[in-house]
Amino acid sequence: MKRSLDIVFSLIGLLILLPFLPFIAILIKRDSKGPVFFLQERVGKDFKSFKICKFRTMESDADKKGARITAVGDGRVTKIGRTLRKI
């Protein structure tokens, strides 16, 4: 039952946000060079790996240009990235 509700509410949320997603993608592309999405492999519960895809809020290859953890005022965060992180 819980899994079904999770899926239903996720779909409702996605439908509500869907009109805004292309607009956000355009803003990211205009703000900085590089891809719109950030793709990464992470490790979850029981050490099971999964892939995450989210809007890019930092410069491309930011992990190679500094620390893996971001701090307040990190220069690698883009202008639109600061706004997206607040939302």
pLDDT at 62: 77
Burial class (CB in 10 A: 0-12, 13-18, 19+), 58: buried
pLDDT at 35: 94
Q: What is the largest CA-CA distance in the chain?
A: 45
Radius of gyration in angstroms for the set of CA atoms belonging to the chain, rounded to a whole number: 15
pTM: 0.77
Closest CA to 58 of 45, 39, 43, 77: 77
pLDDT (average), residues 22-37:
94
78 phi and psi, to 5 degrees?
-75, 170
- The confidence band for 20, taking pLDDT boundaries of 50, 70 and 90, is very high
Residue 40 CA to its chain's centroid (Å): 10
**Angle, helices 79-86/21-31, rounded to nearest 10 degrees:** 140
